[in-house]
Amino acid sequence: MDNRSFTGNLAQRLGCDAATAARLLEGFSMILREQCGEENRVAIPGFGTFEGIKHDEEITTDLVSGKRMLLPPSIEVRFSAGGMLRKRMKGGKK
């Protein structure tokens, strides 16, 4: 499902227009970026948890050229599905 289909589906389920659904999604993604960027967790009951994990800078070697490069620090966002979502994905009770 692409972004346009997802937004349209969400708008239909919420009973609003696509522009409102898009604003809701943008607001949600802004909260995730802010909180995970600060290495906080964002837990959504019945769905799962998003968590920001910081990776320190590291030195790596390019396999082709053999040059050493410094990779800057970064933050990875990890998602852990909640128990209810895992149950639903396995065909459990809705």
Distance of CA 77 to the CA centre of its chain: 6
Q: Render each residue's pLDDT in the chain as its tens digit; 94 residues.
A: 999 999 999 999 999 999 999 999 999 999 999 999 999 999 999 999 999 999 999 999 999 999 999 999 999 999 999 999 998 888 766 5
pTM of the model: 0.72
Helix (H, G, I), strand (E, B) or coil at 5: helix
Query: Which 8-state DSSP code applies to residue 93?
Result: -
Q: What is the pLDDT of residue 91?
A: 79
The CA distances from residue 9 to 1, 19, 71, 86, in Å, are 10, 12, 39, 22
The domain ranges of the chain are 1-38, 40-94
Fold entry, domain 40-94:
HU Protein; Chain A (4.10.520)
